[in-house]
């Protein structure tokens, strides 16, 4: 199977967070407002309103705000107590030919809500890219360790063996579901469009002298100019806040996945079987110099819990939007939406960093297997003695007694599990003594206890992961110009 190593991109994970931070930055927010005002003016001019070419050109030339314009906007907002009108005025100072037609027929939510939908769409694109990279990295890890036996745990108690790679596929499968959910949310996002103060488009109907066809055309034109496939057919003054629920839900679900993965790694670090990256000069504790704390995984758990609870905010905000809208959503959403995306982005970049430097300790894993495998091998021992002519019930009873003696040795005396040595001293089992070895073909070969784990990893990566990564190629390249080689 071809290696899953992976996305060749000039952008490291630390720069991805800068992209997300820029997406929700004031400079990008107000640039987007100006772009929306430009799109509205272009569409209105094309449909016959008296808007000059000079006005359009001046708007195009001044989409980005200078520091001086930020100062002007801040002073205007302090005076007017209205951020949108402050920026309408500020835009007009650098595009004077357009000053009289900026925001023509629109309500504040034309720029605020449509801009938010753009940010949600573009933010999901960034998360999809990062999530696909993480899946690719973990797939390389799973493939590399698909056949390395390790002790499985249920209830965090020793259970049957699995493999290190098979355990990683459990993480990847949940990430695949997160990718599916986030992609669905991304594909569902529409545009608020040009709907007016209460969603009736009354102001635009007035502008176009009662021409319904032109109002419909205006909505479609601005939607297309803004890069959306469709606009929501009906809105109030705002787009429905259920859209925020639909977007933050998959992010919260991803938070649960990330928390589970990071917790597994923290537990494995305690067992000294698998560790996250730890630099040679890194300090684990100010007092205990020997410590190698899994601080990256702990950070993932900490931020993931925050990400999971933000969804509740969206639910509550949506539930209290009276009639056509109420403003108690605004301050809340200005915090919740950027926080959700920035948090998800940082969790992803941290997980990617962890996945690219996971350290596996096969000898520690083998030692733990050797401590538990004798008990797990008892059924194989019984079957082997029966094949040599022994009695199944008699063999079972002898194994039961020897197992209890070995268990006492481990739990009460603090010794090693010596069940195999006890079997080798019992004359009843002498016909299979030569088979009691941990090399290939022996009754204690760990690989004989992992079932189809290696084959499951191969099938999973080939039939489930690779097609998803292939399908993601187009969207990933469109979002970030990175190249995927699977």
Active site members = 155, 285
Number of other CB atoms surrounding residue 134 within 10 Å: 28
Structure tokens at 368: 């733990």
Separation between Cα atoms, residue 299 and residue 269, nearest integer Å: 15
- Rounded Cα distance between 119 and 125, Å, is 10
Q: With contact defined as beta carbons under 8 Å apart, do 417 and 375 qualify? A: yes
A 10 A CB-CB count for 401 gives: 12
Show the tokens assigned to 216: 């419909």
CA-nearest of 351, 354, 362 to 273 is 362
Residue 484 phi, psi dihedral angles, 5° rounding:
-100, 130
Interaxial angle between packed helices 26-46 and 212-225, expressed in degrees from 0 to 180 and rounded to the nearest 10: 140
Task: Count the neighbouring beta carbons within 10 Å of the beta carbon of residue 385.
Answer: 24
Q: 3-class DSSP state for residue 354? A: helix
Dihedral (CA of 280, 281, 284, 287) sign: positive
Collapsed DSSP state (helix, strand, coil) of residue 448: helix
Strands 157-163, 274-275: pairing kind: unpaired
The CA distance from 486 to 483, in Å, is: 10
Which two three-digit tokens encode residue 434?
A: 């030569």
476, 9 Cβ separation under 8 angstroms? no
């Amino acid at each position: 199977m071809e290696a899953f190593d992976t996305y060749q991109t000039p952008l490291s994970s630390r720069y991805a967070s800068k992209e997300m931070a820029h997406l929700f930055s004031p400079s990008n927010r107000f640039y987007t407002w100006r772009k929306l005002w430009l799109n509205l003016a272009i569409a209105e001019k094309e449909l016959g309103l008296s808007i000059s070419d000079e006005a359009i050109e001046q708007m195009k030339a001044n989409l980005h705000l200078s520091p001086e314009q930020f100062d002007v906007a801040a002073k205007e907002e302090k005076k007017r107590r209205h951020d949108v009108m402050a920026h309408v005025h500020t835009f007009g100072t650098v595009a004077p030919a357009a000053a009289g037609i900026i925001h023509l027929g629109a309500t504040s939510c034309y720029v605020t809500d449509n801009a938010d939908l753009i940010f949600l769409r573009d933010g999901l694109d960034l998360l999809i890219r990062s999530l696909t990279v993480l899946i690719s990295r973990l797939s390389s890890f799973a493939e590399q360790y698909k056949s390395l036996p390790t002790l499985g745990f249920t209830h965090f108690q020793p259970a049957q063996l699995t493999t290190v790679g098979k355990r990683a596929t459990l993480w990847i499968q949940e990430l695949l579901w997160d990718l599916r959910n986030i992609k669905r949310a991304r594909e569902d996002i529409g545009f608020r469009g040009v709907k007016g103060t209460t969603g009736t488009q009354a102001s635009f109907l007035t502008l176009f002298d009662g021409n319904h066809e032109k109002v419909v055309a205006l909505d479609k034109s601005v939607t297309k100019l803004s890069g959306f496939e469709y606009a929501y057919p009906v809105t109030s003054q705002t787009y429905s806040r259920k859209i925020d629920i639909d977007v933050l839900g998959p992010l919260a679900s991803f938070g649960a996945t990330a928390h589970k993965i990071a917790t597994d790694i923290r537990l494995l670090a305690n067992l000294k079987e698998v560790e996250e990256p730890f630099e040679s000069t890194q300090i684990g504790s100010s007092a205990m110099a020997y410590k190698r704390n899994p601080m990256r995984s702990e950070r993932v758990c900490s931020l993931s819990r925050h990400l999971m609870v933000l969804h509740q905010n969206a639910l509550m905000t949506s539930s209290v939007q009276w009639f056509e809208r109420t403003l108690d959503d605004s301050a809340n959403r200005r915090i919740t939406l950027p926080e959700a995306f920035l948090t998800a982005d940082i969790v992803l970049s941290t997980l990617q960093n962890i996945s690219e430097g996971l350290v596996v300790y096969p000898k520690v894993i083998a030692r733990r297997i050797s401590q538990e495998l004798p008990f797990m091998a008892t059924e194989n021992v019984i079957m082997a003695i029966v094949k040599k002519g022994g009695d199944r019930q008699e063999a079972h009873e002898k194994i039961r007694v020897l197992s209890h003696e070995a268990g006492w040795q481990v739990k009460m005396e603090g010794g090693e599990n010596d069940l195999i040595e006890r079997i080798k001293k019992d004359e009843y089992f002498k016909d299979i003594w030569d088979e009691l070895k941990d090399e290939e073909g022996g009754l204690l070969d760990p690989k004989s206890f992992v079932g189809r784990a290696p084959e499951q990893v191969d099938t999973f990566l080939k039939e489930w992961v690779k097609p998803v990564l292939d399908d993601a190629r187009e969207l990933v390249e469109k979002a970030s110009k990175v190249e995927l080689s699977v």
